[in-house]
Structure 1
């Protein structure tokens, strides 16, 4: 799950895989109750995004 801040400073969640609605509700509740978990999840998503961008950049340099 990835978190982004919208223009009005509300947090928006984007699921990175298909999940049941009950799973999404459960994950959101866990994150609301545990800000550290929210931070860890956000940092992991950013790290994955950087890695994907790095791989794409490397492929472009080879071509």
Structure 2
């Protein structure tokens, strides 16, 4: 599985390396982060989905 890392702010290379090392060495943290991202993605997807109206 591959991940695309993006930052909400500018980071130094040392900060990025430290964050990547933490995620690589702690699978539980990576799983928690992945679930959080998937929940946010699902919320955004459902918010932008058109609603179905029943025509009478």
The alignment's TM-score, normalised by the length of structure 2, stands at: 0.71
1:9-55 deviation line (CA, Å, top 9, x unaligned): xx233215234132221111101111100100011000100011011
Q: Which has the higher contact order (CA 8 A, sep 6+)?
A: 1
4+ runs deviating over 3 angstroms:
none
Q: Which has the higher strand share?
A: 1
Structure 2 spans left out of the alignment, 5+ residues: none
TM-score normalised by length of structure 1: 0.65
Task: Give ranges in structure 1 of 5+ residues lacking alignment.
Answer: 6-10
Kindly tell me the number of residue pairs found equivalent between the two proteins. Answer: 51
Larger Rg computed on CA atoms: 2
RMSD, matched Cα? 1.9
